[in-house]
Chains A and B, each alone.
Chain A
Amino acid sequence: MKNRLGRTLNTPLSPPYSESSAHHEIQLHVNDEVVTARVESRLLLTDFLRHRIGLTGTHVGCEQGTCGACTILLDGKAIRSCLMLAVQANGRTIRTVEGLAVSDEKLSSIQKAFHEQHGMQCGFCTPGFLMSLSGLAEQGGPKNDAELDDHLCGNICRCTGYVNIRRAARQAMDLDAVESDE
């Protein structure tokens, strides 16, 4: 029997799935917990985090790496989770925005600064900014405003105009003593 595209139906439609490589057993650390799962090859890490393990703090804006809403830490470095497959996270360590606060009552210093400086309006971009800045902090923090701005440029905010976000970031990164070129 043939389908509309002229392919024989008893052969698999594209791609030629092989049982061993179409699905994968993965194990990874997410926010200090071990997670095991079976995932399809094409499942994006963002969708794994959001839909499979319910961590919806990682947002999805563009799925092409430009907006930064999906930024997470992979082995301590800020990366785009929309440009990575869940299967590629096998054996790796991931931190999402849910894993930043020290406890329900105690925010991380970066979160606290965003709260105090009101570094948001709708909040859609906020997890991405928090994760980008957490990655920067893990690398020892920025030496100057230029280095901070290089990181902030990787995240898009459509509401605020960035002024309060930058204020919060400078506070969290201890750049307040340094003169701002704001």
Chain B
Amino acid sequence: MKPAPFDYVAAQSVDHALTLLAGEVEAKLIAGGQSLMPLLNMRLGRTDLLIDIGHLEELNHIRIDEEGRLVIGASVTQADVQNHPDVLAGWPMLAAGIGEIGHPQIRNRGTICGSLAHNDPAAELPAIAMALDAVAEIHSVNGTRTVPVEDLFIGPFMTALAEDELLKQVVFPPQQEGAGWSFKEFATRPGDFATVGVAAQIALLGENVSDVKIVVFGVAGSALRLDATEASILGRPAERAIDIAVSELEMEIKPAEDIHSSHLFRKELAVELLKESIAEALERCL
């Protein structure tokens, strides 16, 4: 199908985009268009004005700041991040997770910030950004605020972004030295949206787990940080981590049933992926 009519403006700057967003006309930002265009084409969504920010050089930065944090601007594509040497060196989970998003032809246009703003419950990036403790820098004509991404995701396809706000960049803090990571997902075919996925990061002190972050997606309305499962293995011996985590996980998640899979299948997948990802993260610990 074809989209319903709309006006289109290629923003000249972030300020220009913010002014248009704050205006009377009902407007939507477009970055890579890899989620928005299918919705407009299928007429599942419509807007009166599209404000394009995908071409803005002002937002096209991947850099490491003075505090060693990775800063990714809103027009940076997933493909650019996936292959970036600084990302591969310091945030390998991010690069690995992006490799699971759709296909190269999609990643050549789709952006990191667009995926966070879209918050598909089956998307990789919201879960990874949560596991890596990323922070969103949000702008509007009224000012700037920074929000831990964890507080951004409020439900399926819903975020805490107001209608006049633009996610300007996302900031990933430096990752703990020696921590091991793992990203695992199950998708029906390679390139499909995942049914369930797990992002895990674990650090050890001697034989015991000294730090742990586990985020699952595909089992709730949006990516879910496993607070109880994390607490259950913190300070415990690494060799018992998988057993303890699995019994805790079974109580912590309550996946829903939908056309893609039953709740039992989702739970089983979460358990298997959790086992695999804890094992892999522990192997990668230095």
Contacts and interface: CB of A to CB of B under 8 A. Distances in A.
B4 interface: yes
B130 to A, nearest CB: 25
Contacts of A68: 103, 105
Most buried by B among A17, A21, A80, A83: A83
A103 to B, nearest CB: 27
Contact of A78 (B33, B40, B54, B108): B108
A173 to B, nearest CB: 14
Nearest to B41: A63
A155 to B, nearest CB: 8
Interface string A116-152: 0000000000000000100110000000000001110
B38 interface: yes
**Interface residues of A: mostly helix, strand, loop or mixed?**
mixed
Interface string A145-182: 00001110110000000000000000000000000000
Interface in B36-74: 37-38, 40-42, 47-50, 52, 54-55
Contact of B8 (A21, A65, A82, A150): A21
11 contacts: A15-B47, A21-B7, A24-B8, A42-B8, A44-B2, A63-B2, A71-B105, A83-B37, A84-B33, A151-B105, A153-B191
B5 A154 contact: no
Given A21-B7, A87-B8, A80 B109 contact: yes
A154 B99 CA distance: 13
B235 interface: no
Interface of A: 14-18, 21-22, 24, 40-42, 44, 47, 63-65, 68, 71, 74, 77-80, 82-85, 87-88, 90, 132, 135-136, 149-151, 153-154
A78 B5 contact: no
Nearest to B47: A15
Interface string B175-193: 0000000000000011100
A83 B40 CA distance: 9
A41 B191 contact: no
Interface string B98-141: 01001111101100000000000000000000000000000000
